[in-house]
Each structure stands twice: as structure tokens, then as C-alpha cells.
Amino acid sequence: MAAVGVASGTAANTTVQGPMLDIRLIRDNPSAIDKALIDRGSEALSRRILALDDARRDHLTKLQDAQSARNAASKEIGKAKAMGNEAEAQRLIAEVAEHKSFIQAGEEEERRLTAALEEALAGLPNLALHDVPVGADEDANVEVRQAGTKSIPNFEAKEHFELGEAMGLMDFETAAKLSGSRFCVMKGALAKLERALGQFMLDSHSRKNGYLEVAPPLLVRDEAMFGTGQLPKFAEDQFRATKHGEEGEASHLWLVPTAEVPLTNLVRETILDEAQLPLRFTALTPCFRGEAGAAGRDTRGYIRQHQFYKVEMVSVTHPKASADELERMTACAESVLTDLGLHIRTMVLSTGDMGFGARKTYDIEVWLPGQGRYREISSCSICGDFQARRMQARYRDENGKPQFVHTLNGSGVATGRALVAVMETHQTEEGGVRIPDVLIPYMGGTTFITADGVEH
């Protein structure tokens, strides 16, 4: 039997693979790092981290001195015995035993100090790129462009859930009986429309945009979640499955919050040839999120669900190419949305509004006539070597030396939010929905869904 629940606290057995921020950066530039952390909405933590680093380094020096003293004393034992100096030999034997005892206890202390330092580093957010606007929240985000024609109906536009419930094809009440809040039973033409959206997006990215289609696992280990930054900091927002064995032992795997996790971890603990870069992956998967920080937000409708489908894009690049790759990835997401006849604007997020692992993020927001406002529908982020350090993902440069790759991820896009946008943008006064031209082949020729949910 497998039980699924939202995790609370941190994962006790998460293994830290490597430093998330290079400790040398903090040693060399503590003031600059503190400013960057404060810009990200974090605390100035360099002093605390350097204290942990100093304690570990001082302890390592003591261990090395004790090992050297033990080795030196061990060599002298034979000399003392050869000279018949049994008292000196016994003294040296006792000294070696004392060093050995200290080293054994000291190795355990070294592991404790290393774990404390790595835990502190694991909690640090990535550092923003120099061109990211500094600000505390979304109010400091900056619009960079708009695309598509803004739909302003000459009638009172409905929200998607009003349309879907009137059609009898969106059933939140039954879903609540089955699973609780933030779930939906989608039926008939709307279920078909969401499936069509996913297939269209997947085909666009794999056929037109050069991403390799992947069907990844939906359950992943602690190490994979740590690699992309969901653990340990965001454990409470994740769903975890528990499997009980025949003898009662339990094992745990995490339900993916996004295909970013398995796709990015395809390169974990590998050293790629430089010529292999860039790698580009895309996948359409179910996603599962606890929405721990969303209490009271979007409680109606299909915007913020515990379970949803999303087409994800992931790129693994050479460090010199990652900035251009972010622009390319964002353009790929934008093209999917404009092909659907949607109006969008692209925002560069401020330092205080970016995700934990991002160095720079573009949010694409779609205009929803039913709500009369823009809503986020895609995020595309460059992570630099932040995830690569956690995963030990590297490439071998022209000199044969291993270097960390850069990783990027982006929504390409969430099918549920795209469904919402298509319904509200292409609704009719009577309550029907026109099918965008690019989706008609995926809908088997259907061009219109009537107010009573019938396809035409």
C-alpha cells in the first residue's frame, strides 16, 4: 500500500551533494554576498557561515596535526624498542593510543561540522544577476514586452469556472468529495481541450523548438529533489508517497512538483563532453504541489490546484551560453501562447520575487478577460551553476578540466492555466468557447464548444 501526504519539516535523510554557493565567494566577498542575500529577501548570513567554516577548518588542522604526531610517534616506537628503551616505547605507545582516540572522536566531530556548514549553505538562495531589478516583491517587477491582441469583449465576460460549471464540464464539488479542496473533475470537451493543449505544446517544443521529448518518472528520491532545490527548504510544499514492504519497513519517494526535477537530474553526477552542450529536454507530466503558501488564494477555479499538468522545458548549457539560452527559452514559451491567440506580457522579476534557485526569471503573464487582469502562466529561469553544484553535474572543458554546467528551466506551459486563458479569451456572449486554429487538429476537427458543452 502507498500513502500520499504533504510533507512537513525537512527530509531527515536528504544527502547534501556539494556546496550550493562556492564557500570561496563568501570568504572573499562577505559584504557583497550579504548585500546580495538582503536583496533576495534573506538575512545577512556571511558571518554565521564563515564562523562555521572557520570552526571546521580549525578542527581539520587539529586532526591533521594529531595524525602527523601519531605517525611520528609510531615510527619512534620501533627505534625505542631496538635500543632497549622499554619505558620510552611504552610512553610512545600510550601517546599513539591517545592520538588515535582523539582522531576517532575528531572524525565524528568533522562530520558534524561539515554537515552544519553544508546545511547552512543549502538554505541560501541563489544570487541574482546584475541586471535583475532590486525590490522586495512583485511591485518591483519590470515589464519588458507585450505580444498578442488584448481581448476586451463587448459583453460581460465570465470567469473560466463560471463557463465550465455552466457547461457541466468542470466539477469541483465532486472532486472535493473525492480528494478535498484544490482538485477538479474535468469532463467531456474541456477534458479533451486540456489534453489537446498539452499535445500541441509538447509538439511545438519537440518539433519546432529543438527540445528532446522525455517521459520521466513521476516519483523521485530525496537526492533529486535536493538537486533542483525543493529540499530541504520547501519540503512542506511537496507530496510524498510511502510504500510499506512485506516486513513493515517503509520507503519514501516524492511526487514531482514539476518535470524540472527529473529532467534536470538526468545529468546529475555526470561529466559531459563540452560538445554535447546544450542539452534541451521537454516533458508533459502531472505535477503535485501542496500550495502551502497559498491559503485563501484562488480557492475557486482551476488556477491553483494540488494536481495539474504542465509541459516543462529544461536546458543544460555551457556557462557562456546560458544567458542567451534564457532568452531563447522564454521566446519558446511566448510563441506557444501567442499561437493560441492569447495576449501576454513578459516581466523580469525583481530580486525579492524570484524563486529560490533562480539568478534571473522572466514571468509571462496572460490577460484573462473574465478576471480583467493579468495572471502568471509561465516562468523561465536561469539557475547558473546553483543546481549543478547540488547535483555534481559537470562538463569537461577544452583543457580536460571538469567545470559545472549551467541549468535553466521554464514552463512551456501549464495546461490548466492555458485552458483557463483559452476559455476566457475565446468565450462568446452565449457562454461557448471558440477553439484556436492551432488546436483544431488536436480536437479532431472540433471548432467550437457550445454553452451546454457540446462540440461542433
- The residues that are catalytic are 289, 304, 376, 379, 417
Angle at 376 between CA 374 and CA 380, to 5 degrees: 140
Given a contact cutoff of 8 angstroms between Cβ atoms, the answer to whether 420 and 303 are in contact is yes
> Which of 303, 414, 304 is CA-nearest to residue 364?
414
| Phi/psi of residue 377, nearest 5 degrees | -125, -15
Judged by phi (left if over 0) then psi (alpha if -120 to 50, else beta), residue 453 lies in left
- Distance from C-alpha of 226 to C-alpha of 228, rounded to nearest angstrom: 6
Terminal alpha carbon distance of the chain? 44
Given a contact cutoff of 8 angstroms between Cβ atoms, the answer to whether 251 and 245 are in contact is yes
Given a contact cutoff of 8 angstroms between Cβ atoms, the answer to whether 418 and 377 are in contact is yes
Q: Count Cα atoms within 13 angstroms, Cβ side, for 93.
A: 9
- Distance from C-alpha of 233 to C-alpha of 11, rounded to nearest angstrom: 9
Enumerate long-range contacts of 201-208, CB under 8 Å, 24 or more apart.
Answer: 201/284, 201/311, 201/336, 201/412, 201/413, 201/415, 201/418, 202/282, 202/283, 202/284, 202/311, 204/332, 204/335, 204/336, 204/339, 205/282, 205/311, 205/313, 205/332, 205/336, 205/412, 206/282
| Phi/psi of residue 146, nearest 5 degrees | -125, 160
Given a contact cutoff of 8 angstroms between Cβ atoms, the answer to whether 191 and 171 are in contact is no
Q: How many CB atoms lie within 10 A of CB 456?
A: 11
Name beta bridge partners: 185.
171
- Distance from C-alpha of 1 to C-alpha of 432, rounded to nearest angstrom: 43
Per-residue 3-state assignment (H helix, E strand, C coil) for 401-430:
CEEECEEEEEEEEEHHHHHHHHHHHCECCC
Residue 27 cell numbers, joined = 570568504
Give helix 46-82 / helix 86-122 axis angle, nearest 10°.
Answer: 160
* CB-based burial label for 304 (10 Å; 0-12, 13-18, 19+): middle
Give me the DSSP letters along 371-399.
Answer: TTEEEEEEEEEEEETHHHHHHT-EEE-TT
